[in-house]
Every structure is written in C-alpha cells, then in structure tokens.
C-alpha cells in the first residue's frame, strides 16, 4: 500500500474543490441551468489518493482498463454509490466484466462491441448507458468511430442506426479526446466538431437521447464546457501525476 502524507492529501482536496469551482464558473457563463458532471479519472492512481476524493464527495470515477478498474472497485466497495465510468478502449472479450461493474461506457467504438455489451447487459438485466467514442481529429493512434471528415459522416449512419436499436443499450451521446497540446485553445475546434456531429446524429435519429457530450480533461475542460461538454474527465489536475 502506498501511504500518502497530509500535505498530499490536502493538496488533492484543494485541487478537487478548485476544479469543481472552475467547472461551475465555466458552466454558469454558458447557461445558468447547465449541470456539468465531473468524472475523476483514477487510472494509474493509488487507492490512498482515491479515498481522499471520495472523502470530499466525488462519486463519479473513471478508469481506462477493466482489470485495474475491477480491483479498485472491490477495494473501494465500502463507500457506497460510486458510479464507475469506463473511458478507455474496451476489448469485446471484456464486455461481460465491464458490463457487470461499470455504470457507464464512454468508449463504445464499434458495432461488434455494442452487440456484445447489449447481450451481457441483457444477462445482467440492465439497460447500459453508453457514449459513442468518436475520433474527430483523424489521428491514427486514436480509437473511436472515424469522424474527422464531415463529408463522410453519412457513412457512419448505418452502424449508428444498428447500435441505437440494440435492446439493452441506451445511447446517451458522444465522447472524444482532443489531440494532446499544451495550449487548451488548440482543443476548441475538436470540441466544436464533436458537438456538430452530435447535432447531426440527433437530426438523423431524433428518437434517441443525444444529450451527453463527454469531452475535456485536465488541460482543456473549461474550453470543452464552453463548447457544450456535459461531462468532463479530469485526472492529474486533481490527483497529481499518475504513478501506475
Ligand atoms: C487519462 C484520461 C483522462 C484524464 O486525463 P488527465 O490529463 O489526467 O486529466 C480523460 N479521458 C481519458 C479517455 C483518459 O484516458
């Protein structure tokens, strides 16, 4: 077990309240009614640090890997009502485990995975909320439905149509990661792009729920909120450098 000292724990608490405040401020500028959900990204972080954010009230935690997530979920079972968010690439063969323990899947990136998730969600007797991960930058190292060229968005429609008809998934919106950059403004066009893509899907499939936009991380969450994020995923700005 990694022990953390008082100074580290104080700093995590300060970071958490500071980020919450900045989220609220950014949201208020956009819309007084807007509620933005903060997912604290705990991948690569020790349990001791995670307990500090739970103590100050965090209840939405994000993990990238199924095994790492599951071991934390069992270790942190005690504090009730944590919603675990799968935000990393999910292999189809881990769909069952993910479905059993995660409240949300942000990283749904193929029809094959969607079918598996819907199948297992049925077995667990749940309707699983998912977001379609979209690659709006076109970077080849990124997962997600390739959506960098607006002219080709229509090619995504047949797959999306199949996914939203799966019986045990609830498609709630879209997720993306902007390319890494030290300047938050560089991310803005990608966030705008995801929002336009969401509007496009909503127009094509008006029956669906397309309200959720999961975008923005430690570096750029304020820009993401300005561009319509309803969920931001923040790790290091709260918990400090990842060690795992
Ligand atoms: C790691 C990660 C984050 C959080 O990144 P930070 O820079 O630590 O805020 C958010 N989203 C995804 C998909 C990630 O993999």
| 60-93 residue pLDDT tens | 999 999 999 999 999 997 656 899 999 999 999 9
- Residues touching ligand 1 (Cβ under 6 Å) are 41, 43, 64, 87-88, 177, 217-218, 233-237
Structural domain that includes position 141: 6-239
**What confidence score (pLDDT) does residue 73 get?**
94
Q: How far is CA 78 from CA 44, 48, 97, 239, in A?
A: 21, 14, 20, 20
**What confidence score (pLDDT) does residue 244 get?**
73
What are the phi and psi torsion angles at 192 (to 5°)?
A: -60, -45
98 within a domain of the structure (yes/no): yes
**What confidence score (pLDDT) does residue 234 get?**
98
**What confidence score (pLDDT) does residue 1 get?**
58
145 within a domain of the structure (yes/no): yes
Taking residues 46-63, report their average pLDDT: 96
pLDDT in tens, 148-187: 999 999 999 999 999 999 999 999 999 999 999 999 999 9
- Tell me which of 62, 104, 229, 241 to substitute to probe ligand 1's pocket, judged by most ligand atoms within 8 Å of the beta carbon: 62
Q: In what helix (H) or strand (E) does residue 173 lie, and over which residues does it extend?
A: strand 169-175
Q: Is the pLDDT of residue 35 over 80?
A: yes
244 within a domain of the structure (yes/no): no
How much distance in Å is there from the Cα of 193 to the middle of ligand 1? 19
pTM over 0.95: yes
CB 135 within 8 A of CB 142: yes
CB 86 within 8 A of CB 108: no
51 within a domain of the structure (yes/no): yes
Tokens of 119: 């199948």
79 within a domain of the structure (yes/no): yes
- Tell me which of 144, 235, 239 to substitute to probe ligand 1's pocket, judged by most ligand atoms within 8 Å of the beta carbon: 235
- Cα separation of 137 and 143, whole Å? 11
Number of domains observed in the structure of the chain? 1
1 within a domain of the structure (yes/no): no
Tokens of 152: 């080709």
67 within a domain of the structure (yes/no): yes
- What is the DSSP-derived secondary structure letter of residue 164? H
CATH number where 62 lies: 3.20.20.10
- Cα separation of 224 and 136, whole Å? 14
166 within a domain of the structure (yes/no): yes
């Amino acid at each position: 077990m990694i022990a953390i000292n008082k100074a580290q724990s104080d700093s995590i608490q300060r970071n958490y309240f500071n980020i919450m405040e900045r989220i609220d401020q950014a949201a208020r500028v956009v819309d007084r009614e807007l509620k933005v959900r903060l997912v604290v990204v705990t991948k690569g972080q020790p349990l001791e640090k995670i307990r500090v954010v739970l103590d100050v009230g965090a209840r939405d935690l994000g993990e990238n890997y199924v095994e790492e997530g599951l071991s934390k979920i069992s270790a942190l079972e005690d504090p009730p009502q944590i919603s675990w968010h799968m935000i990393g690439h999910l292999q189809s063969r881990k769909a069952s485990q993910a479905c059993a323990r995660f409240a949300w899947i942000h990283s749904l990136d193929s029809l094959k995975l969607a079918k598996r998730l819907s199948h297992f969600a049925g077995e667990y007797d749940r309707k699983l909320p998912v977001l379609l991960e979209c690659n709006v930058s076109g970077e080849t190292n990124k997962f997600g439905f390739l959506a960098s060229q607006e002219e080709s968005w229509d090619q995504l429609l047949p797959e999306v149509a199949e996914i939203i008809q799966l019986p045990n998934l609830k498609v709630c919106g879209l997720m993306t990661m902007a390319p890494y950059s030290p300047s938050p403004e560089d991310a803005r066009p990608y966030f705008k792009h995801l929002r336009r893509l969401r509007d496009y899907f909503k127009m094509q499939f008006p029956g669906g729920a397309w309200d959720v936009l999961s975008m923005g991380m430690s570096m750029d969450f304020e820009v993401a909120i300005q561009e319509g994020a309803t969920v931001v995923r923040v790790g290091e700005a709260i918990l400090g450098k990842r060690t795992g």
